[in-house]
Structure 1
Amino acid sequence: MIFNSNKPYSLPIRYHVYFWLTYFVFNTFRWGSYFNDYVYSLKTTLLGFPIHMALCYLNILVLMPHLVYKKKYFLYIVTVLSAIFVMVVLKFNLTYLLITHDVWPEGPQTINTLTLNYTIDMMMGELYVMTFVTAIKITLDFLKEQRRVTDLEKSQLETELLFLKSQISPHFFFNTLNNIYSLSVEKSNKTPKIVLKLSELMRYMLYETKGKKQTLENEIMCIQNYLDLERIRNGERLEVDMSISGDIHDKEISPVLLLTFVENAFKHGVNKNTGNVLIDIRFKVKGDYLYFTISNPMPEFTVHKDNFNKASGIGIENVKKRLELGYNKNDYKLSFKNKKNIFVVKLVIKVT
């Protein structure tokens, strides 16, 4: 894991105050109990406290970002030990001058000069405090990085979903505008009705599908508007058999997800057939799941050329990708099959 070394993770100042205040009280009572002299313990803690803090913040705010995160480990060790040594010397002299000449009362012998044993013991004590604070720093950095990665993945996922969703409307409108153009060339009286229906669909798809989910009721209404468009355009040669069963209220689904299957059925089942065409659509809500089925005839040339997979079209591939990104694997099941030249799409999807 590579942590962000440019901006060290920071907590609100009050948490720093809480930490050091707790440590100060603990240290004062700990050594006060040890020496049976709380006044002496308070004095030495007050003297040593700024040294602890200076070393800790020097380490987490300067040395770690500029040395550890840049993999300059040897220089980091040398710098830390040097800084601790300087602070130990400073602490010794301040204790000697301001508090007592018996600088190391907890040691094996009374000393009033800097010794190797005293230096090592004090350096180990400072390292203990620094290690504890550094562990907190590393933990916070790790949590920050995990959150950053999670947020990035979520952002990328949402961006990709928005991109896929944005591809659906242009694809749908392009096909419908082509239909309107064909009718206008023929000067068909169906053109005004189609334009009106299209405007209703555009209003829904542009303004009411911005969220991650849409009510199943509205999605079915959108599909019904689309079917009205196709009925106007295709006339009597088109027969649509649509049934709805179960409670569709208070159920939610990704916007314009089902419409893509319907549009695909017309693109490959109606537009490429010259005779009468039957489109069969089934909505069945059972518990928390929607069982959606749509079937359309496949033109002979599509079957003969073994283009069954291609018959699904770009729109279906788009939907498959949206399902992968927007739903858990166990929350949906999508299948396709060709049954006696009838292309059947089945989708079972969670709609709560």
Structure 2
Amino acid sequence: MKNTSGPITYNYAIPLKYHLVFWVLYYIFNTIRWGGYFDDYFYSAKSNLVSFFVSILFCYWHIYVLIPKYIVRKKIIPYIIWMIVSSVFFYFLKTGMMYVFIDKTIWPEAPEGQTAPSLNHFITVVLGELYVIAFVSAIKLTIDWISVKNQRDELQKLQLQTEIKYLRAQMQPHFFFNTLNSLYALTLKKSDNAPRVVVKLSEIMQYVLYEVQEPRIHLTREIRYINSYVNLEELRCGNIDLTLNIIGNIEEVKTPPLLFLPFIENCFKHGGHTEERMQIDLTFKSLPGDQSLHFLVKNTINPEDGSIKPKGGIGIKNVKRRLFLLYQNNFVLQTGIKKNHFVAYLKIPVKDN
């Protein structure tokens, strides 16, 4: 990816070869067009050499000086004044070169020929130049607009990726803080499970710190990580009645890492100290036109626990923000309390991640 952290450039540098190709093709087209119109290709070729020399100067003066200095800065009156002055200058330059190098009759196309400048000749020449300038400027402005749009898109993409990485990084200290609290409680009790907790925590740290650097990981790896976390909580809380259902082929499914953990943490946070049945349903459905991953977690809670809120804590808020950045509005997230159970349901697309 290109570095888009610098200022956006409004003057995209077109390679020289494209300038040469454009003017050569335009010169050939103009020579054939006017040569066929007056039935004199040799004169058309000569006059167009002079004409294109002046047109190139005028065009580049316009797109590289007048537009950046006045149009971009919205200085319309100075731009109009400079266009009038430039038109007069390039008119006399072109007329003089035609007189010296091509023909003393500076306007042979006129009914009786013309050997001196006139208002009609000035208007005709300037309108022809303005036609070329408008055409070339439209091409240049279009290329600049596409360049700026691409830079803005890349900058926005980089900003989104940075925010997603920041949100994902927030989950790591949040998890470790909770786990270290559990380990501290076990050490106070001088529990024999404390060393095993340290080992499990080490395994999870390896996963979180080294294995989830990619934006998408295989769902099977995430499930193994969830199992390790559940095993860690079992060491802390004792026996947990856990049901894990996997329906469908998930071998090739990839998801953002650490996306489901806050919901699992929430189960243990509000129900891990009670006689409970915690149910986790993880389903992948591959249907025509609708490939999506369905995640459902449900656990019993203590109805007298006033700290339980359907919206969850900071971890779930973090997940909601990540989901929006990743999928915009193309996801479903529902959380709430139903019959003494905390239920969270998540549906995300998995096609073309």
263, 267, 289: which one aligns with 1:265: 267
Tell me if 1:187 matches 2:186: no
Q: Following TM superposition, by how much is the alpha carbon of 1:5 offset from its aligned partner in structure 2, in angstroms?
A: 8.9
Contact 2:8 2:148 in 1 (8 A): no
Question: Per the alignment, in what secondary structure is the counterpart of residue 12 of structure 2?
Answer: coil
Report if aligned partners of 2:219, 2:253 keep a CA contact under 8 Å in 1: yes
- Alpha-carbon offset, residue 327 of structure 1: 1.6
Counterparts of 2:300 and 2:231 in 1: how far apart (Å)?
A: 19
Match of 1:95 in 2: 98
Matched, 1:243 2:227: no
SS of structure 2 residue aligned to 1:266: helix
Corresponding residue of 1:340: 339
The runs of at least 4 aligned residues of structure 1 exceeding 4 Å deviation read 4-7
Q: How is 1:185-224 mapped onto 2 (pairs within 5 angstroms)?
A: 185-224=188-227
Distance 2:229 2:152 in 1: 41
Structure 2, unmatched stretches of 5+, are 1-6
Q: How many Å separate the matches in 2 of 1:20 and 1:199? A: 67
Does residue 31 (structure 1) correspond to residue 30 (structure 2)? The answer is no
How far residue 337 of structure 1 moved from its aligned partner, in angstroms, is 2.5
1:323 is aligned to 323
How many residues of Structure 1 are paired with residues of Structure 2 in the alignment?
341
Q: Answer whether contact 1:5 1:66 (CA < 8 A) is retained.
A: no
1:226 corresponding residue in structure 2: 229
Deviation at 1:53, TM superposition (A): 0.6
Q: Distance in 1 between matches of 2:102 and 2:247?
A: 87
| Preserved CA contact (<8 Å) 2:167 2:318 | yes
Q: CA deviation at 1:71?
A: 0.8
Question: CA, structure 1 residues 224+345, in 2 after alignment: closer, same or farther (shift >3 Å)?
Answer: same
Determine helix, strand or coil for the equivalent of 1:282. Answer: strand
Pair 240,47 (structure 1): closer, same or farther in 2 beyond 3 Å: same
Structure-2 change in CA distance of 1:6 and 1:211 (3 Å): closer
* Residues 1:142 and 2:145 are matched in the alignment: yes
Alignment correspondent of 2:310: 309
Give the Cα separation in 2 of the matches to 1:7 and 1:34: 40
* TM-superposition CA deviations, 1:123-160 (whole Å, max 9, x none): 11111110111111221122122222222221221122
Measure the CA separation in 2 of the matches of 1:92 and 1:69.
Answer: 31
Instruction: Give the match's secondary structure for 2:344.
Output: strand
Q: Please report the TM-score for the alignment, with normalisation by the length of structure 2.
A: 0.92
Q: RMSD over aligned Cα, in angstroms? A: 1.8
Q: Is the 8 A contact 2:200 2:228 kept in 1?
A: yes
Deviation at 1:7, TM superposition (A): 4.7
Give the 3-state SS of the residue equivalent to 1:289 in structure 2: strand
Paired residues of 1:283 and 1:293 also in contact (CA < 8 A): yes
CA positional deviation for 1:328: 4.6
Report the CA distance shift for 1:347/1:132 in structure 2 as closer, same or farther (over 3 A): same
Q: Give 5+ residue unaligned stretches, structure 1.
A: none
Report the AA paired with residue 162 of structure 1: K
TM-superposed CA distance for 1:20, in Å, is 0.5
